[in-house]
Amino acid sequence: METKHLICINCPMGCPLTVEMNGEEVVRVKGNTCKRGEVYGRKEVTFPTRMITSTVRVVDGISSVVSVKTREAIPKGKIFDGMKELKGIKIKAPIQIGDVILANLADTGIDVIATKNVEKR
């Protein structure tokens, strides 16, 4: 049986997790203090995902960039593909929190949305 050691990232506790695996299958997660730890442990070894946060440029806004995020976490392996797609994007102000900046980032099915309001200049 194979074991993987992780640190749970759900909260600041940072529980040290041990995930026991049989091939691709997760047998057991140890070291977690809550349910979320187990879910994280299972997911992190089989299908790790991350939120991306970044900025894109704004045209005619009171600020020159707006902060954005993926609405949900995307597969970890897609992070840099996603960043590549964000390059060169320009959005016209006004922008509201939650506005879709780019749909279906890097074919993940997940949109990139604004996380800040930017008023028109």
Which residues lie near other proteins (CB under 8 A)? Answer: 6-7, 9-12, 14, 50-55, 57, 63-65, 67, 69, 76, 79, 83, 86-88, 97, 115-117
Closer by beta carbon to other proteins, 22 or else 59: 59
- Residue 115: Cβ-neighbour burial (10 angstroms; 0-12, 13-18, 19+): middle
Max distance between CA atoms of the chain, in angstroms, equals 61
Task: Output the smallest distance, CB 111 to other proteins, in A.
Answer: 15
CA distance 19 to 34: 15
Closer by beta carbon to other proteins, 11 or else 103: 11
CA distance 1 to 35: 23
Closer by beta carbon to other proteins, 9 or else 39: 9
**Amino acid found at 11:** C
Task: Output the smallest distance, CB 94 to other proteins, in A.
Answer: 14
Closer by beta carbon to other proteins, 76 or else 92: 76
Q: What residues pair up with 59 in beta bridges, in sequence order?
A: 92
Task: Output the smallest distance, CB 19 to other proteins, in A.
Answer: 14
Cβ atoms of 6 and 44 within 8 Å: the answer is yes
